[in-house]
Amino acid sequence: MSPLLSLILIPLVTAAFCMAGSAPRRISLFGAGANLLLSLYLLASYNLEIGGFQFVSENALFPAYGLSFSLGADGLSMVLLLLATLVTFAAVWVTPPVEKSPGMFYACLLLISGGAIGAFASIDLFFFYAFHELALIPTFLLIGIWGSGDRQRIAWKVTIYLAFGSFILLLGLIGLWLAVPEGLRTFDIRLLQQLGYAGLLTPGPAVYLLLFFGFGILIALFPFHTWAPEAYASAPAPAAMLHAGVLKKFGLYGLLRLVVPIFPEEIQQFAHLVLILLLGNILYVGFVTLAQKRLDLMLGYSSVMHMGYAFLGFVALNQLGLAGLSLMLFAHGLTVAALFALCGEINRRTGTLEFSELGGLAGVTPKLGLLFGFAAMASVGLPGFATFASEIMIFFGAFARGAVGSFNWFQTATALALWGVVISAVYMLRAYRNIFWGARGSAVKADTADISSGVRWAVILLLAVLLLTGFRPGLLLDYLNPVFAYLP
Amino acid sequence: MNPLYLEASVVVLGIFLLMAEAFSGPGAKRGIAYLGILGLLGILGATFFADPAAMNASAAYAKFYSADPLALFLKQFALLTTVIVLVMALEYAPTVEANLPSERRGAGLGEFYTLPVLACAGLMWMASAVDFVMIFVSLELVTITFYILVSYLRRNENSLEAGTKFLVLGALSTGFLVYGITWIYGVTGQFNLAAIAAKLPLLDQAAAPALLFGFGLVLIALGFKIAAAPFQFWVPDVYQGAPTPVTAFLSVASKAAGFIVLLRVVQTFLVVPALQEKILPLLAVIAGATMIFGNLAAIPQSNLKRLLAYSSIGHAGYLLLGIVSIGAPFAGTAIVFYLAAYLLMTLLAFLVMTIVAQATGGDDLANFNGLNQRAPHLAFALMLAMLSLAGIPLTAGFLGKLFIFECAIEQQHWGLVILGVITVAAGFYYYLKVIRAMYWQQPADPDAPEIAVSALAKLTIALLCALIIWLGVYPAPLLSLLP
């Protein structure tokens, strides 16, 4: 069995065991841990000198149509697979005791993970799409059954929104497929990329826009972002970690995988539109984030806001910007996962996430305070964390698109986007102060227990990886840079 | 083997079952159904050995009977559906007994198991019909059987109301059909579709309005059969009132046969470009209206049977989209694949619904609340059916939609494609409503015992589930069977 297939099957089989058997927590921790080790092993055995897609396995399903179940991973997929297994392991680890049918809860988590891993490891267009869609239903169940607040309405909204986005994406993919000259028609992403590099595949602006907005809705591109904050606020912490940390990265991965190689001209043609929308993400959503009065909503909006930087790297369309974007997928995924894990823990300890009822928490729960401080700094992009490395690469990459002397669109947008860093520093530090410092809030008692050991070690793991890759971004960039080496 | 024997053996089987019923005791009625299932499965196996070359091409019947791969596939389709309907009918037997006036135990059950077999023969003829007379006769055979079946629950007002509505509208549509055929015959002097297609290019322009009028009338009649808007209004009441197995039969087999006839008739008329220009936009409007009506009207439904009725209208819309895109080389296969996927998921939904409704006393969505706690396997099966109907990848329903939309994009029907995407998103809403009821809501009676399922039904459900996933992941074997 090919190693990538095992990487997909382990969570799916573990999920089946969780539904059927007892002790779901132990089984899923074991499964997620094994998967993490496997992905580390694959990362180590990926041959950087050869590059390209490795661990390839192909099973032709329908040759006349060019459909086959093919798996393979290049540097970009490898990094995302590591992200997926890492966050899955952390999400399973931080899961508090589940009252309502725990087996199904863990099964849903693992199904999301399996869907995301499948999408990252597929080099067949059909399964690339299908695996992502597969993860929508567990999300629906997770929010609907175990969510908080107005969970039913929110689960509806998210699912319909994402399904709609996926169908637009599907239309784009069909358009892309039909644009391939007859006789060469294939679902093989590698071949599509090659055709794109060679300039033989020019589906035109309509297909580009379908794909861009299809992926954009999944990434919570302004103004299609309204599903995300509510969903993350309502979802149980492990589900929010997996969705914001991993599944949402599918959209950006799709942009990098399909749109960048095939649509370089269209990206430039519509660059102005993208720049305006991404400023909407950074500045408009940034100000909305400032106005939030609950931690979970604030984190949700902040995660939407950071997607603006990602689009900046995308539209820069040079090696620096795209490699920065890929690194950001990884760094941002780990950061939001850590923050949502801590957010869930605060809610469990104090019973509230309203800033007005919290305060002085660090006095009673110093470890929680320290870890939240680290995670908040990582989110702001403090040097030393991988988030800093990725953001600075994106900013330099985008700025480099300009002319010397006068500011062009790219440089103006970059300058404005830089203010986003200030905005995020303001809301993060303010949240940190409101929750952990100052006078003790009404929900904080002297006997409020400190962070549980499961959450503590899971968050430490995530932060350690962030710090490691922050000081040595080369560890990951060695995998990412060759993917975009053909660009200036 | 001559394919004509297939229908003949189904009819013989039906008559044999009726005779056996007359001589069987009140306790042995189930045996009739088992015999029917076995017999149909045997004939289903025989279809794989049917050889069109064995037919005498010069014989009179060859003019109105065709055994092309499409027809053979549809015969298998009808046989499989009937088998599953009989499985469903077995589960449904208590309701039938309770709603018949006779005090005798098991009265009327034998006929309830036999009539679907006779309808099946009609459907199989319909699949082979390439002549308007044959189309009319086989259509009537099916429809008249359904008149009886729909109003079978004689003590149930809803069933009687459904039967009356179905009878009146069925008669009306028959009228349209005959009238349309008359006009087409008047212009071309032919009943045979191939002969009409050969004659059409030779006609002069002045005949076009009369031809179009005739075609329009036939289209209306078939629109009733496949429940296309604006001829869909009978569907919700009839589907809800009819006995559940009959509803399933009606919404799967009868619809599929209607589509095959429509496909054959449309293809006949498309040979002339001047007619094509008029016919395709007309079909496009009907397809769009059907997609919108079916999917939007399903949203507020609170009864699962009614919800499935509206959803079946929506699916007719997607199938019509395939017919509108018939110019694409893959369209025929796409339509048939969609029908196959539709058969599997709809029958699965109806089968689970029959079982649950027997146990909980109704088919309102509220009866499905918390089903996951009472019967996790049934809940899972129904969830799979709903996901496939909604079009989630890795299920047969998704691939069906994918193929149809691909043909539509290839033919550049952008307006319909956009409409299709919006209605598919709406579809997510109401299909997920069923999943919500089963998984989120609390059951009305938390201590209710687990729902008992007979071994035959269990086997059928498991097979249908496996087929849905199999076709969604690995469609190649079926696609290679398709014409």
| Burial environment of residue B45 by CB neighbours within 10 A (0 to 12, 13 to 18, 19 or more) | exposed
B483 falls in which pLDDT band (50, 70, 90)?
low
B88 falls in which pLDDT band (50, 70, 90)?
very high
Q: Tens digits of per-residue pLDDT, A58-80?
A: 887 766 667 788 899 999 999 99
A109, A228: one domain? yes
Helix (H, G, I), strand (E, B) or coil at B443: coil
Domain termination residue (choose one: A214, A245, A265): A265
Decide if A137 touches B, using CB distance below 8 A: yes
Q: How far is B357 from chain A (nearest CA, A)?
A: 24
Please state the domain count of chain A. Answer: 2
Decide if A213 touches B, using CB distance below 8 A: no
A179, A292: one domain? no
Can you name the residues that pair with A60 across neighbouring β-strands? Answer: A68
* Per-residue exposure over B411-425, b if at least 16 CB sit within 10 Å of its own CB, e if not: bebeebbebbbbbbb
A154, A283: one domain? no
Output phi, psi for A59, to 5 deg: -130, 105
- Residue A64 with chain B: CB contacts under 8 Å: 479
ipTM: 0.73
A137, A24: one domain? yes
Domain termination residue (choose one: A216, A243, A265): A265
Q: Smallest Cβ distance to B417: which of A152, A164, A171?
A: A171
Specify the pLDDT at position A404. Answer: 66
Does an H or E element contain A56, and which? strand A54-62
- Residue B479 with chain A: CB contacts under 8 Å: 62, 64-65
A76, A131: one domain? yes
B436 pLDDT above the threshold of 90? no
Average pLDDT over chain A reads: 89
B79 pLDDT above the threshold of 90? yes
Q: How far is A84 from chain B (nearest CA, A)?
A: 21
Task: Choose the mutation target among A160, A180, A185, A211 for the interface with B, i.e. most B CBs under 10 Å.
Answer: A160
Q: Tens digits of per-residue pLDDT, B194-233?
A: 888 888 888 887 888 888 899 999 999 999 988 888 888 8
Decide if B61 touches A, using CB distance below 8 A: no
- Residue B417 with chain A: CB contacts under 8 Å: 171
Decide if A136 touches B, using CB distance below 8 A: yes
B32 pLDDT above the threshold of 80? yes
Residues 6+ apart with CB under 8 A from B32: B17, B20, B21, B24, B109, B110, B113, B114
Domain termination residue (choose one: A231, A265, A299): A265
Q: Tens digits of per-residue pLDDT, B396-424?
A: 998 899 889 888 888 888 889 889 888 98
- Residue A145 with chain B: CB contacts under 8 Å: 439-440
Decide if A392 touches B, using CB distance below 8 A: no
A405 pLDDT above the threshold of 70? no
Q: How far is B51 from chain A (nearest CA, A)?
A: 26
A177, A307: one domain? no
A211 pLDDT above the threshold of 70? yes
Mean pLDDT of B441-450: 78
CB pairs under 8 A between A and B: 72
Which tokens sit at A79? 């990094």
- Is B392 within 8 Å of A136 when comparing Cβ atoms? yes
**B480 compared with A123, residue with greater pLDDT:** A123
The two most distant CA atoms of chain B are separated, in Å, by 74
- Is A178 within 8 Å of B409 when comparing Cβ atoms? yes
Can you name the residues that pair with A68 across neighbouring β-strands? Answer: A60
Decide if A141 touches B, using CB distance below 8 A: yes
Query: What's the domain range around A425?
Result: 270-488
Decide if A164 touches B, using CB distance below 8 A: yes
What are the residue ranges spanned by the domains of chain B?
Answer: 1-271, 272-483
Which tokens sit at B414? 């952008």
Q: How far is A287 from chain B (nearest CA, A)?
A: 31
Measure the CA–CA gap between A460 and B116, rounded to whole angstroms. 66
B129 pLDDT above the threshold of 70? yes
Helix (H, G, I), strand (E, B) or coil at A294: strand
**DSSP string over B87-124:** HHHHHHHHHHHHTSS--STTTTHHHHHHHHHHHHHHHH
Decide if A122 touches B, using CB distance below 8 A: no
Task: Choose the mutation target among B389, B440, B469 for the interface with A, i.e. most A CBs under 10 Å.
Answer: B440
Q: Smallest Cβ distance to A159: which of B398, B405, B428?
A: B428
Using an 8 Å Cβ cutoff, are B47 and B6 in contact?
Answer: yes
- Nearest CA-CA partner of A338 in A310, A366, A377: A377
Q: Tens digits of per-residue pLDDT, B232-252?
A: 888 888 998 899 999 999 988
B338 pLDDT above the threshold of 80? yes
- Residue A175 with chain B: CB contacts under 8 Å: 409
| Minimum CA–CA partner of A157 in chain B | B429
A207, A319: one domain? no
